[in-house]
Amino acid sequence: MKTVEEIINQVLQGDCLEVLDQIPDKSIDLIIIDPPYNINKDGGDGWDSQWGRVKKGFMRKPGTPTEEDYYNWMGQVFAKLNTKLKDSGSFWFFHNEFPALSALNHQMLNNTDLEFRNMIVWNKLFQPSKEYGWLHGYCEVEGLTNFQKMCEYIMFYTRKDLHLKVRQKMIELGVKGSDISKEVLSKSGGQTGWLQNVLSGKSPPSEKTIVPLTKHLGLTMDDLRPKFRNQKTHHSIWNYDIDKNKQGHITPKPLDLLKNIILHCTDPGDVVLDCFGGSGSTALAAIQTDRNYILIEKEEKYISIANNRIQGKSPDEELLGPLFTISSE
């Protein structure tokens, strides 16, 4: 297994479940993935079609994978990614169908020790969107029998039960709770229940209460609570234009949206992982926010596009950078 320093800021080629084995455990600060949605978006010759989503009015071909196979495979991906994430890290993934989100959330909770934090609605139809007139035209089509979908969803998870580290460390070091709690007193000089609130998970440590926890137990804020660097700019509905500069990929995500996730959940120099690298948008967002990245992508054509974009070249220019391939052996 390589060190994380040996593979950061590279686009790695291979199946994500195999390549992830080469990334050290608990080395990643943020995971952002845009996995296949299993909706036959690619027209029948790519990732989505291999899971056998059957279009309305058609029969499933014998021997083809089922939707349950898709969810089980995603569960394996979640489980593998979970081992790579630091305790202070965050895990985000995109999807666009609520029934699938329910099944995928079930896989996440069953295969990881992460907990659900929020579901972000990426709203694409808003004023003053550059695409407002074009998108709004779809709402005005005659004969609609349902509301037009003008959004996607982003699921946000972090590590749960980090507070258990405090009691474990107290037992390990033989430190009494009274020795810790007396260092943060009330305004009148009396003891409060702040330590018990931390031990029970009721309240995470604050900038004030982390001081005695570090002094007595050596625990830092990043040991006990996920990073969330509030930018004071967003709530749970995000307005971002769609990325029409597809760069050879059918569903790229907007750079500004990706940068917003990165700015909220990491610090400069942290490592961002995307195991469905596509055309490299996550890498560009990391670079533009002074973070490091690791991309994994199976298709060589997308690796070429991603490396060209990272190097500031147009998609049709000759690839200068090396193609990094990591085997599972």
Reported as a single tens digit per residue, the pLDDT across 105-137 is: 999 999 999 999 999 999 999 999 999 998 999
Give yes or no for residue 311 having a pLDDT over 70: yes
Burial zone of 132 (CB within 10 Å; 0-12 exposed, 13-18 middle, 19+ buried) = middle
Q: Which residue has the higher pLDDT, 125 or 251?
A: 125
Tens digit of pLDDT for each residue in 208-235? 999 999 999 999 999 999 999 999 999 9
H-only helix segments in the chain: 4-7, 16-19, 67-84, 98-111, 132-139, 164-173, 177-181, 194-200, 210-217, 221-224, 255-265, 281-288, 300-310
Residues 43-57, mean pLDDT to the nearest whole number: 46
Contact 31, 315 (CB under 8 A): no
Model confidence at 59, pLDDT cuts 50, 70, 90, reads: low
Give yes or no for residue 56 having a pLDDT over 60: no
Residue 312 confidence (pLDDT): 87
Contact 118, 156 (CB under 8 A): yes
In the CATH scheme, what architecture does the domain 4-160+227-325 have?
3-Layer(aba) Sandwich (3.40)
Residue 246 confidence (pLDDT): 60
SS3 108: helix
SS3 99: helix
Residue 1 confidence (pLDDT): 76
Q: Which two tokens stand for residue 269?
A: 């120099």
Residues in the chain: 329
Q: What is the secondary structure of 76-97 as a DSSP string?
A: HHHHHHHHHEEEEEEEEEEES-
Give yes or no for residue 291 having a pLDDT over 80: yes
In whole numbers, what is the pLDDT of the chain averaged over residues?
88
Residues 244-257, mean pLDDT to the nearest whole number: 80
Using alpha carbons, list the distances in angstroms from residue 120 to 71, 165, 193, 239, 250: 21, 29, 34, 11, 22
Q: For residue 247, what are the contacts with CB-CB under 8 A and spacing of at least 6?
A: 279, 305, 309, 315
Residue 252 confidence (pLDDT): 85
SS3 217: helix
List the one residue out of 108, 87, 86, 85 whose CA is nearest residue 35. Answer: 108
Residue 232 confidence (pLDDT): 96
How many CB atoms lie under 10 A from the CB of residue 98? Answer: 9
The torsion angle over the Cα atoms of residues 165, 167, 171 and 176, rounded to 10 degrees, is 130
DSSP bridge pairs for 155? 93, 119
Residue 322 confidence (pLDDT): 40
Measured distance CA(39)–CA(97) in Å, rounded: 9
The alpha carbon of residue 328 and the mean position of all alpha carbons in its chain are separated, in whole angstroms, by 23
Model confidence at 79, pLDDT cuts 50, 70, 90, reads: very high
Give yes or no for residue 37 having a pLDDT over 90: no
Q: Return the minimum-mean-pLDDT range out of 139-143, 245-249, 251-255, 313-317.
A: 313-317
Give yes or no for residue 179 having a pLDDT over 80: yes
Residue 2 confidence (pLDDT): 81
Q: Which residue has the higher pLDDT, 153 or 315?
A: 153
Q: What are the sequence ranges of the domains in the chain?
A: 4-160+227-325, 164-224
Q: What is the secondary structure of 250-313 as a DSSP string?
A: SSPPPHHHHHHHHHHH--TT-EEEESS-TTSHHHHHHHHTT-EEEEEES-HHHHHHHHHHHTT-
Percent of the chain with pLDDT over 90: 76
Q: Which two tokens stand for residue 149?
A: 């979908």
